[in-house]
Structure 1
């Protein structure tokens, strides 16, 4: 059986299980007696072992099997979970992640499997051994695990003869893999005496009808049901207890009631397929704009009606495709508890991580792009921000520091607030470093307020760390974070209070592919501004403008808003001073309102944003390009980096 076609599915599901193990380990450190977490931990390790063995990845199977054995000590109550055990399991987990990455990239992982397996095995010598009474109490109180140790029991010892009917979802990408996993799981629970169709046809995916298995096992129906329910893309599972023929004749007993479950109607979809689909929808958006331009030239009610109908359908299609690509930020946050735990343990700090708004959704592309930047921010919070317990006590703070991540939805953007209650940022130290490195002159540095200074930590090579560690302090990282946020059309802002902590605010669009934009005229050019950057637009009499700190400004709701001429910013020819009215786009920069003076407001439309190629991709203030209905190509402006 050629297993290579199942590789992508294996990698995807293995990563999910490893992420789950990481989260559960951190949770168990806080609550070592959480039986539900212990059972889930064991099941995840068991699943990785089973999948790896089925695929022929023996090193992954061997290491995950050893981890499963060690986790079984806690499942059976023979050991009390400890921080030292967590360290070893997480070390094994890191090795598994490297091995999975090696499989994905078809490269050697560089992991010494025998060494790490032997190290994980030392868990049995760690921590307190539970009393004789404790295992019994735990086993009696804990729910029976749905996982049964590998190796079929003898038929004579089997208590149950089960008839199992499984229907693989018609939408399953690899039905043969799903059917084969069912067979493997059943084989671990007992002896599969027959299958319909035969195993070779199941492996090839050559079946149209539900799969039927006969199993002799010492496990009960509920355990088998739970065992199979962890396999994705099974439409239904039906289990009946068969009575042995002799017993039927003698006792006339009826078969037990069937246990039947129906899985949720979900299916795994290739991310490449979703990307292609969103690109097709994007081209349709561009075509719709072209049709609208054509409608202006041809006075046809039928054409206008057709355009309206098509526009409505394209919008609905876009929303549906986008909803499929949307992913809860939970997947972005899941790896952070491990990051906080490792750095705090290594540095001798006590840190609590709180996460709010996990159910807020973002485009999968943004989730993937933000994974590493968010980890870097959290590492900085713990390494630079949070003080040692003795220092916090001296400052009148609780010994345990607090890092909070809050996700919230605001219009068509998601806001991530990352805060710590640590020492804060020393603005004067940043000023001094910036002057030393030639980033700022003394005159310019003196004229900047602290908030303008804080954002300089995102400047390449600027670090105020007193010593370089393997965690941070090399002056790299925050510039990459800001570049990632900027590349997605987002914005990053930093605020801090010495002795009280630091807050980082990241604003991200819901999607980076198709967005609403405001078209504006600047000189002879048309440009696009993402609508999520626009607070409002207005036209004012030139005579109504004010002057503030040698800059033109406009009074807006009793607030003096400074103005920037987009002609000057973009280097266009000077404007004609004869115009009486001035068009202004109000946006935000560093949490302050600013006004962009443009020559005209063209209108709002949906735009398919295409990335820029070199050298334009390195041009400051441009985030992409889009095609108008008349075929002209215009730039999408990155306002925060343009001003």
Structure 2
């Protein structure tokens, strides 16, 4: 290693230590500034602060970083009289925090080898030369504006800061190599078994091919167990290397709250629940900017001034809460405040002034619908622009950042009680334990983290009809019929119920299913963007056979009512000779609230259509006996299905294939790649709400004409 390389390693090591010391200094400064701790705790905070500053000065001096050592030295000198007085005035805390900011920016410049664009050192040092200047130091301004992702912790720490996990990974790789060699040996043994079966007379004495095969099977079973253990070990070590706990974001957020309160004259306290939750560092890096903006928004827009809060019977110090939890493979973050809540009428006026929506539409919207307008770009209820608000820039950027992480952002607000932002993100690393269940013909997944146990109970233990409950082992709990909850046809009456007991939303409930399958560790991935807004599903996993397993959200199961749209009894028919394609289309449509029927042939589809009222039909083009175009023509010729929307699906999306499909009477044409990307449900919904331009039968006049001025794009696309 060269001298320059060695110096860079030492500088990186110091930057990691300095970051932790600056966190300690910030934490103790804010504790001392509040002054609400017992006297002995305040003495301890002063001591911790003095030690951290001394260590910071010593580390900078060792590396001959004279500017950094000078800042730490002046801060250490300025602390002594304050320590003797036993108090930390807010204006002096401002100066110390400003000094820390300059220290951090200059340290970053040293790491990057920059000598330009640095904060003025003399202007920083003078803050600590004259006690009067400490009282005049301006409060540190927060940084408003668009959401900017922060640097991940690992960027500075470096891979070498976690050697234990790396060494474990190296050992696992060595074991995988050994396992690969054993599997090659097993293949050789299988070849010998095949040879013995083809030439019975040449088998080893006393060993029949069956016995030889059983030996190979036993050996493979052992190898399978070791492979599973190794995969789990690799997954754990990779997660340890690439994740960080959420509490690392708390202190920067608390600093932001403190600085903004100093500028606005408000008072607030930020708390964190679930800070031990580990999150992918790349996600954590992007979340830091998102959460910082939500915190600024809560202080600036949500919280009232102390005197106003007291008039309303609230504590003068506003409460901000960041709560984090993992639900299955989802990470749920909730940022809430106890402020005044969103001003619904002010949002209506601002949206009308911007021309976002017509006045009639705005007047008809519920308060919850109006609240969603805060994510529109440029919308602001502030009449005057300040340093931190009024520009209409922010929450739209926050939402874009969350969407970039394949997540969702919701807002809930009550007048006078506060506002709550909920971020739901998929866990990007590893697998999640999932319990498979069957309801009718459908296989679904439940996050095992929400499952307490699986059991049976006599149907006679059910109490009530409107809100049924189950009495089980002297415990009374709500009973949720999963088929009914999903809007599926109910199963036949049974004397004994098959139940999965789950906990969700702080309560326990019994989930009725038809059967319980095995538990598996699966990589659950987010739904396509077109389906991501559906509240029932946290994602889907691919099973070994290629089938898709939709995974439910346990917290949704604890809410009231079926899937939106299910009560309307919308029925869809999926026709495809591929089992996998039928399962994929059925899953997507059921997620949208449809009751889905499936057929493998055109003849079966015609028979179903003759006895069922249908809202939409999805047909594969390439089928044996009767292809999709022929089936479409026959459906159009029948009075009962002449006006039912039909979507043709094909592996080929050529112009000629599409034109032929539309000429047969189909309303839309989709490639299978588009269906896999989640476009199917969006097209179905579009067909059901748009004016019908198609003729009721090929070649006849349109039964429902759109206005001549209507300009509607075609539903199908390539």
Fold in common (TM above 0.5): yes
Instruction: Provide the residue aligned with 2:162 in structure 1.
Output: 269
* Matching residue within 111, 116, 141 for 2:119: 111
Instruction: Provide the residue aligned with 1:80 in structure 2.
Output: 87
C-alpha distance in 2, partners of 1:120/1:448?
A: 56
Is the Cα–Cα contact under 8 Å of residues 537 and 583 in structure 1 kept in the other structure? no
CA-atom RMSD in angstroms: 5.1
Matched, 1:472 2:389: yes
Residues 1:537 and 1:543: Cα distance change in structure 2 (over 3 Å): closer
Question: Could you tell me how far 1:267 is from its partner in structure 2?
Answer: 7.8
Larger Rg: 2
Instruction: Provide the residue aligned with 1:247 in structure 2.
Output: none
Question: Could you tell me how far 1:543 is from its partner in structure 2?
Answer: 6.6
C-alpha distance after superposition, 1:489-529 (max 9, x if no partner): 332211111222111122234x42334599xxxxxxxxx99
Is the Cα–Cα contact under 8 Å of residues 21 and 45 in structure 1 kept in the other structure? yes
Instruction: Provide the residue aligned with 1:512 in structure 2.
Output: 428
C-alpha distance in 1, partners of 2:682/2:73?
A: 51
Question: Could you tell me how far 1:115 is from its partner in structure 2?
Answer: 1.2
Question: Could you tell me how far 1:638 is from its partner in structure 2?
Answer: 12
Is the Cα–Cα contact under 8 Å of residues 457 and 478 in structure 1 kept in the other structure? yes
C-alpha distance in 2, partners of 1:479/1:595?
A: 29
Instruction: Provide the residue aligned with 1:342 in structure 2.
Output: 259
Deviates more, 1:359-368 or 1:343-352: 359-368
Gapped runs of 5+ residues in structure 2? 136-156, 188-193, 195-212, 435-443, 452-480, 492-535, 537-555, 599-672, 686-718
Matched, 1:576 2:575: yes
Residues 1:338 and 1:541: Cα distance change in structure 2 (over 3 Å): closer
Residues 1:641 and 1:437: Cα distance change in structure 2 (over 3 Å): farther
Is the Cα–Cα contact under 8 Å of residues 516 and 530 in structure 1 kept in the other structure? no
Q: What SS does the corresponding residue of 2:130 show, helix, strand or coil? A: helix
Is the Cα–Cα contact under 8 Å of residues 95 and 134 in structure 2 kept in the other structure? no
Question: Could you tell me how far 1:319 is from its partner in structure 2?
Answer: 2.0
Is the Cα–Cα contact under 8 Å of residues 246 and 275 in structure 2 kept in the other structure? yes
* Matching residue within 50, 67, 74 for 1:42: 50
C-alpha distance after superposition, 1:107-134 (max 9, x if no partner): 334211011101122348768xxxxxxx
C-alpha distance in 2, partners of 1:94/1:125?
A: 18
Q: What SS does the corresponding residue of 1:71 show, helix, strand or coil? A: helix
* Matching residue within 321, 324, 337 for 1:404: 321
Matched, 1:380 2:292: no
Question: Could you tell me how far 1:384 is from its partner in structure 2?
Answer: 0.7
User: What is the total number of aligned residue pairs between the two structures?
Assistant: 433
Residues 1:532 and 1:68: Cα distance change in structure 2 (over 3 Å): farther
Alignment of 1:461-540 (within 5 A): 461-509=378-426, 511-516=427-432
Question: Could you tell me how far 1:544 is from its partner in structure 2?
Answer: 6.9
* Matching residue within 26, 30, 33 for 1:29: 33
C-alpha distance after superposition, 1:460-483 (max 9, x if no partner): 222222222211222222222222
Is the Cα–Cα contact under 8 Å of residues 412 and 532 in structure 1 kept in the other structure? no
Is the Cα–Cα contact under 8 Å of residues 585 and 597 in structure 1 kept in the other structure? no
Question: Could you tell me how far 1:353 is from its partner in structure 2?
Answer: 2.5
Question: Could you tell me how far 1:370 is from its partner in structure 2?
Answer: 1.1
Instruction: Provide the residue aligned with 1:97 in structure 2.
Output: 104
Residues 1:537 and 1:544: Cα distance change in structure 2 (over 3 Å): closer
Structure with higher strand content:
1
Question: Could you tell me how far 1:387 is from its partner in structure 2?
Answer: 1.3
Deviates more, 1:496-505 or 1:7-16: 7-16
C-alpha distance after superposition, 1:192-234 (max 9, x if no partner): xxxxxxxxxxxxxxxxxxxxxxxxxxxxxxxxxxxxxxxx9xx
Matched, 1:456 2:458: no
Question: Could you tell me how far 1:425 is from its partner in structure 2?
Answer: 0.7
Is the Cα–Cα contact under 8 Å of residues 411 and 421 in structure 2 kept in the other structure? yes
C-alpha distance in 2, partners of 1:637/1:328?
A: 33
Question: Could you tell me how far 1:403 is from its partner in structure 2?
Answer: 1.7
Residues 1:399 and 1:121: Cα distance change in structure 2 (over 3 Å): same
Residues 1:318 and 1:414: Cα distance change in structure 2 (over 3 Å): same
Instruction: Provide the residue aligned with 1:559 in structure 2.
Output: 561
Gapped runs of 5+ residues in structure 1? 128-231, 233-265, 519-527, 546-552, 588-592, 601-631
Question: Could you tell me how far 1:440 is from its partner in structure 2?
Answer: 3.5
Matched, 1:393 2:310: yes
Q: What SS does the corresponding residue of 1:561 show, helix, strand or coil? A: coil
C-alpha distance after superposition, 1:531-575 (max 9, x if no partner): 799999879897779xxxxxxx9x9997232259xxx9xxxx994
C-alpha distance after superposition, 1:569-620 (max 9, x if no partner): xxxx994399999944799xxxxx96488899xxxxxxxxxxxxxxxxxxxx
Q: What SS does the corresponding residue of 2:314 show, helix, strand or coil? A: coil
C-alpha distance in 2, partners of 1:327/1:372?
A: 16
Matched, 1:427 2:344: yes
C-alpha distance in 1, partners of 2:163/2:682?
A: 34
Question: Could you tell me how far 1:309 is from its partner in structure 2?
Answer: 3.6
Residues 1:514 and 1:112: Cα distance change in structure 2 (over 3 Å): same
Matched, 1:14 2:13: no
Q: Give the structure-2-normalised TM-score.
A: 0.51
Q: What SS does the corresponding residue of 1:507 show, helix, strand or coil? A: strand
C-alpha distance in 1, partners of 2:50/2:675?
A: 55
Is the Cα–Cα contact under 8 Å of residues 486 and 638 in structure 1 kept in the other structure? no
